Structure 1
Amino acid sequence: MAIFIASTKSISRGKGQSAVASASYRAGVALEDTRYGKTHDYSKRHGVMSADIILPSALTAANAAIDRSELWNKAESAEKRKDARVAREWLVNLPYELSAEDRKELAHSFAQTLADRYGTIADCAIHEPTQKEIDRGADPRNYHAHIMFTTRTAELDENNEITLTDKATIELSDKKRRSLSMERVSHEIKDVRQLWEQIANEKLAEHDHKLIDSRSYAAQGIDIEPQLKMGSVATKLERDKYERELRKAEQAKAEGKHYEIDKTPATQLGTINEIINERNELVWGTELAKNQLINDTADHIISKGHDIEHITPPQMVSDYVPKPSM
């Protein structure tokens, strides 16, 4: 069953970030960063299925074009403040039930819709979990898209070249938005999340897959507990332990031996999150069983030609194991 993930964050100098470096990492390419006088090279990065620049429809109709390096260097040069936001990223989960082609079409449709809505340029990178990540415990169904957007609107200048001008409305402060009779940014973000739900569900419905829900788990009545934030130090400790274990396994293999990788967490935070994850999987499994029971009952009613409006829903039983639909 597809899950809903649509989150956004700013890429800013105040956090020590660069739009060029971020684009390089997400696209898995080498890009020259003229502002910082260095080259970011992530061309050996695995897991990048595709990476495409998506212009607002008006610029595409005018046969405009720009490459990744020029785009993000322009995004950097357009900002003068040392703490400026230089890009906005949307991270969306791509339903594993769909084909690779459909997932790409879905991500591009969302990116195009936002590019047209705000007049910004998108850089859409689609990722799949690598075998190394899967070996470390990542879900092999974790297909997702990192979609970076310019924070400024894109227009054509007198030389018919793309230039970045005013800040997009989603980047304006709440004070500025109020002066323009606009709702708070939080409302805007909620609207975009619902937009992703709509676009994704249209694609899922085409193939008769279960739909996603943009509401929080709490709003849906699902008792999912959020994991604790690991932070950079704990994350590094977890990663370093895995790398050591992997080297031990490779060394043992070279010697014709077998070494079982120790996947227990290296930190207390990691242990707590593992417990939370196990609990959430049990809760989620129960919810899926409930949904399957309702779907099976509905299928049975429809197949028998009963009046579904006058059928009493079945009683939910915690240890019920649903039977497959006939």
Structure 2
Amino acid sequence: MKPHSRRKLDSVIRLIACTAAEKLYDQRLEKFFSYDDDSKIIAKGLIFPVDIASSDESFDTFSREKLWNLAECCDSGKVSRIVREIIVNVPFELNADQQRQLVVAFASSLANYYDIAIDFVLRSPPIGADPRSFRAHLFLTTRCIKINKNGELEFSRKSYFEWSNKNLTALNLPTTHDQLKQIRARWAALNNVFLARYKIHAYVDSRSHQARQLSVRPFVNLSAIDRQLENCGIPTLLGNYNRQIEKENARIMEQRTISERTFSQTLSEESALMATVFATIDEAQYQIKKYDKFTRRSNKTDQFIEKYYQQTAATDRSIERYLQKIDRRKRAIS
């Protein structure tokens, strides 16, 4: 994200005209800025918050020249910050229309969150650059935009991103650094949604290598001049640095592969040993069940014999009582 102020930028209109490849008039400087090379532009447009876009008033014809001249009029200071620029890399796996949809979705989410207007320009890679380097430039107004009582657009207070961390903390709002992390996470999430929607096997993560606990080191971005020199076979300082990082990452990945192979072999041996242990346990459990079954059968046999003995004893007692009864009758008769 790049903040642009009048201290470093003589005209916001000039920056917008150069990026969008248009002829725009700067009312403050009273001069035209014209850039006609639009061969690398894929799409461009203005994004407003949903309450403005869905209002009864039509702002479809609202031009970027009028928007940024209005923004220039709201801040007249010599060091005023008029615009913030966000530059994002767009997945090259998506076609032009899909890339435009992704950028519009991202710009709309930011416009609705901060209540600001956003001017976006989607560009294809310049000559000599990496052919996969599709970029989108998003120019964010530093003030919130709204519709006044006359049905016209006007700027109001500064957006939350322009507030000091002291004021943000007092209102329990995320700090500027936290907001920047949220914007990066929002862009990564939208990338992953579009990649999954169009069945592209790729994933975007906004976190750093350190936050993701990756052992490999990241590459540095080459400037346009360094890229052109590298394409012509002329090594550069940053190019040599990236090649050194590539060698170190290859060595780390090789060691990781060896470690994973060793771990896999150890895991296979442990799995075989555990399978043997489990088989032994299963056999022991089977023998225990078999013994329990035999024991239950033996107990049932003992119970049957005990019951038989009891029945035999009862029969003997009945016979004895019957014989005693007969003896008493014989004595009574005699």
Q: TM-score, normalised by structure 2?
A: 0.69
Of 142, 152, 155, which aligns to 1:161?
152
Taking a change above 3 Å as real, the CA distance of residues 156 and 276 of structure 1, as seen in their structure-2 partners, is same
AA of the residue aligned to 2:220 = P
In 2, Cα distance between equivalents of 1:206 and 1:283: 35
| TM-superposed deviation, 1:284 | 6.5
In 1, Cα distance between equivalents of 2:40 and 2:186: 27
SS in 2 for 1:188: helix
The answer for the alignment partner of 2:206 in structure 1 is: 214
AA of the residue aligned to 2:192 = N
| TM-superposed deviation, 1:45 | 4.4
Larger radius of gyration: 2
- Deviation track 1:252-288 (CA, whole Å, cap 9, x = no partner) reads xxxxxxxxx95526xxxxx211212333455677899
Of 121, 133, 141, which aligns to 2:117?
121
Of 96, 100, 111, which aligns to 2:92?
96
The answer for the alignment partner of 1:275 in structure 2 is: 240
Bigger relative contact order (CA 8 A; separation at least 6)? 1
In 2, Cα distance between equivalents of 1:188 and 1:21: 28
- Deviation track 1:26-52 (CA, whole Å, cap 9, x = no partner) reads 111111111112211112243111111
In 2, Cα distance between equivalents of 1:151 and 1:164: 9
Gap runs ≥5 in structure 1: 1-7, 246-260, 266-270, 294-311, 318-326
AA of the residue aligned to 1:142 = S
- Deviation track 1:137-184 (CA, whole Å, cap 9, x = no partner) reads x10011110011111111111221110111011111112212322232
Alpha-carbon RMSD across the aligned residues, in angstroms, is 3.0
Taking a change above 3 Å as real, the CA distance of residues 286 and 151 of structure 1, as seen in their structure-2 partners, is farther
Taking a change above 3 Å as real, the CA distance of residues 18 and 190 of structure 1, as seen in their structure-2 partners, is same
Of 15, 23, 27, which aligns to 2:16?
23
Q: Does 1:105 align with 2:101?
A: yes
Of 195, 201, 205, which aligns to 2:196?
205
Taking a change above 3 Å as real, the CA distance of residues 223 and 68 of structure 1, as seen in their structure-2 partners, is same
Taking a change above 3 Å as real, the CA distance of residues 202 and 20 of structure 1, as seen in their structure-2 partners, is same
Gap runs ≥5 in structure 2: 265-334
Native 8 Å contact 1:27 1:50 kept in 2: no
SS in 2 for 1:15: coil
Native 8 Å contact 1:218 1:224 kept in 2: no
The answer for the alignment partner of 1:324 in structure 2 is: none
Native 8 Å contact 1:64 1:162 kept in 2: no
Query: Which region of structure 1 is more displaced relative to structure 2, 271-280 or 181-190?
Result: 271-280
AA of the residue aligned to 1:69 = E
Taking a change above 3 Å as real, the CA distance of residues 227 and 196 of structure 1, as seen in their structure-2 partners, is closer
Taking a change above 3 Å as real, the CA distance of residues 85 and 219 of structure 1, as seen in their structure-2 partners, is same
Query: Hey, which of these two has a bigger chunk of helix by percent?
Result: 2
SS in 2 for 1:146: strand
SS in 2 for 1:214: coil
Aligned residue-pair number: 255
Give the share of equivalent positions with the same residue, in percent.
Answer: 27
Taking a change above 3 Å as real, the CA distance of residues 120 and 64 of structure 1, as seen in their structure-2 partners, is farther
| TM-superposed deviation, 1:315 | 5.4
Taking a change above 3 Å as real, the CA distance of residues 101 and 45 of structure 1, as seen in their structure-2 partners, is closer
SS in 2 for 1:81: coil
Of 24, 32, 49, which aligns to 1:39?
32
| TM-superposed deviation, 1:289 | 9.4
In 1, Cα distance between equivalents of 2:252 and 2:187: 23
The answer for the alignment partner of 2:7 in structure 1 is: 14
The answer for the alignment partner of 2:220 in structure 1 is: 226
In 1, Cα distance between equivalents of 2:106 and 2:253: 27
Q: TM-score, normalised by structure 1?
A: 0.70
| TM-superposed deviation, 1:218 | 3.1
1:173-322 maps to which residues of 2 (within 5 A)? 173-208=164-199, 209-220=201-212, 221=214, 222-226=216-220, 238=225, 263-264=233-234, 271-282=236-247, 314=261
